């Protein structure tokens, strides 16, 4: 060791926290609680958005066409498939494929209860949905009264996936027709859709006999390799009447997210939840730091008398707040991961942790603790060294 090395400063903030064991545990518990709340709100929000666009992202095409009045999968309007074939004439388009969408009544084969299921009618000859189960089994949908079932469905629809995988033939009644399940695919439930069913356009019109052939919900447009998407879109918009709109698949997914976040109470609810968790956490940290500063006021006054600057004490309190933030964040994150897993099993919602969210919540925790520290240190000014004699 270097003989001339400066004395290492005492880590006063940590020594102080460590000595108040009970207070330290309460603080860590409080911050963990706030972090868990924030993670959950963000997790639900993230699950809502990522599940809402799983269908969109599965579509095998660069451009999507829909009615001018369509807003979301749960707020659709129909348009004539003639528009899709008009668009097919634009240079750069390789193929087009119509899709029918409608909730239909599914009878749970186990207990005969009726539940709405979201039916997707595709042309079984077209590779239009890029989901493993659909790609593998779509040809089978050419047979009448067949469907593919969603293995990510909630239990209300019956234990279809388990029974299918154990080799059992499953048939149930839809619109007074016996429909057989021929395969499984996976789409997560969303806040608006509990389960999906994929079938052929022909079978779709049999199951939903109130729908008219030729009036479709979305059109999937596949471009030739190397085609300029923006150019094709501009050309289509110039050519098509305003009863339909066309957009890239990414914009289609973004529009769905925007719908949930802006046009339903759901996005707002979760954002507010994050804000409330933040405030709860800040209040807890403030309470802890304030009583900590108050209890140590005579000690701080002594330090001031000894010639320590106010800045030294400020740094101590801010360090305490950041140590608490870090110590509370670790168990908070672990608990949140556990609850994500449990929620995923219970609801099938795709609750996933990503690094961005971890960093964001940590930043919020640090800000929360710093704000609390900034309020608590005002108490420090009442530590008057002249009072200690």
Partner 1 sequence: MMLNSAAPAISIAQLNHYFGRGALRKQVLYDINLQIDRGEIIIMTGPSGSGKTTLLTLMGSLRSLHEGSLNILGTELFDASKEQMLLTRRNIGYIFQAHNLLGFLTAYQNVEMALEIQDVTAVEADERIREMLAAVGLEHRMDYYPSDLSGGQKQRVAIARALVSQPKIILADEPTAALDKKSGRDVVEIMEKLAREQGCTILLVTHDNRILDLADRIIYMEDGYLVNRSDVAAIVQRRFSVLRK
Shortest distance, position 10 Cβ to partner 1, whole Å: 6
One residue of 305, 315, 366, 374 binding partner 1 per CB under 8 A? 305
One residue of 22, 238, 262, 386 binding partner 1 per CB under 8 A? 386
Q: Does 4 bind partner 1 (CB under 8 A)?
A: yes
Q: Which of 373, 343, 371, 338 is nearest to 32 (CA)?
A: 338
What residues between 13 and 72 interact with partner 1 by CB under 8 A?
Answer: 15-16, 18-20
Q: Which residues are CB-contacts of 156 (< 8 A; sequence separation ≥ 6)?
A: 108, 113, 115, 194
Shortest distance, position 375 Cβ to partner 1, whole Å: 22
Residue 70, judged by CB atoms within 10 A of its CB (0-12, 13-18, 19+), counts as buried
8 or 265: CB nearest partner 1: 8
Binding to partner 1 by CB under 8 A, coded x per residue (else -) over 246-285, reads ----------------------------------------
Cα 87 to Cα 68: distance, rounded to the nearest angstrom: 15
243 or 299: CB nearest partner 1: 299
Q: Does 381 bind partner 1 (CB under 8 A)?
A: no
Please provide residue 191's backbone torsions phi and psi, each rounded to the nearest 5 degrees.
-75, -10
Cα 233 to Cα 254: distance, rounded to the nearest angstrom: 17
By CB under 8 A, the count of residues binding partner 1 is 29
Cα 100 to Cα 301: distance, rounded to the nearest angstrom: 75
Q: End-to-end CA distance of the chain: give it in Å, rounded.
A: 41
Selected range binding partner 1 among 126-134, 272-280, 294-302, 333-341, rule: CB under 8 A: 294-302
Q: Does 143 bind partner 1 (CB under 8 A)?
A: no
> Under a CB-based contact definition with an 8 Å cutoff, are residues 150 and 58 in contact?
no
Binding site residues, partner 1, CB under 8 A = 1, 3-10, 12, 15-16, 18-20, 296, 298-299, 302-303, 305-309, 385-386, 388-389
């Amino acid at each position: 060791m270097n003989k001339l090395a400066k004395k290492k400063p005492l880590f006063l903030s940590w020594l102080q926290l460590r000595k108040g064991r009970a207070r330290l545990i309460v603080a860590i518990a409080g911050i963990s609680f706030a972090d868990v709340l924030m993670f959950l709100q963000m997790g639900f929000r993230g699950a809502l958005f990522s599940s809402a666009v799983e269908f969109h992202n599965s579509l095998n095409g660069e451009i999507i066409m829909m009615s001018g009045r369509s807003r979301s999968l749960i707020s659709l309007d129909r348009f004539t498939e003639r528009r899709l074939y008009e668009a097919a004439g634009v240079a750069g388009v390789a193929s087009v494929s119509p899709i029918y969408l409608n909730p239909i009544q599914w009878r749970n084969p186990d207990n005969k209860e009726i539940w709405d299921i979201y039916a997707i009618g595709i042309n079984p000859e077209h590779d239009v949905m890029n989901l493993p189960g659909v790609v593998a089994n779509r040809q089978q949908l050419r047979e009448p009264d067949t469907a593919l079932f969603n293995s990510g469905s909630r239990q209300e629809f019956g234990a279809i996936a388990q029974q299918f995988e154990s080799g059992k033939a499953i048939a149930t009644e839809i619109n007074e027709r016996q429909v057989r399940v021929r395969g499984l695919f996976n789409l997560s439930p969303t806040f608006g859709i509990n389960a999906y069913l994929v079938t052929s356009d022909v079978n779709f019109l049999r199951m939903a006999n109130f729908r008219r052939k030729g009036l479709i919900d979305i059109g999937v447009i596949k471009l030739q390799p190397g085609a300029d998407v923006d150019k094709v879109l501009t050309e289509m918009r110039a050519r098509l009447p305003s009863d339909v709109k066309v957009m890239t698949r990414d914009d289609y997914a973004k529009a769905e997210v925007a719908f949930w976040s802006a046009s339903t109470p759901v996005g707002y609810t979760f954002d507010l939840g994050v804000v409330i968790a933040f405030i709860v956490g800040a209040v807890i940290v403030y309470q802890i730091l304030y009583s900590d500063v108050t209890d140590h006021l005579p000690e701080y006054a002594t330090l001031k008398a000894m010639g320590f600057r106010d800045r030294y004490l400020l740094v101590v309190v801010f360090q305490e707040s950041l140590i608490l933030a870090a110590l509370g964040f670790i168990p908070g994150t672990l608990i949140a991961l556990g609850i994500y897993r449990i929620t995923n099993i219970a609801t099938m919602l795709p609750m996933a942790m990503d690094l961005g969210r971890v960093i964001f919540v940590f930043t919020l925790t640090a800000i929360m603790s710093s704000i609390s520290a900034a309020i608590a240190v005002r108490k420090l000014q009442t530590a008057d060294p002249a009072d200690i004699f």
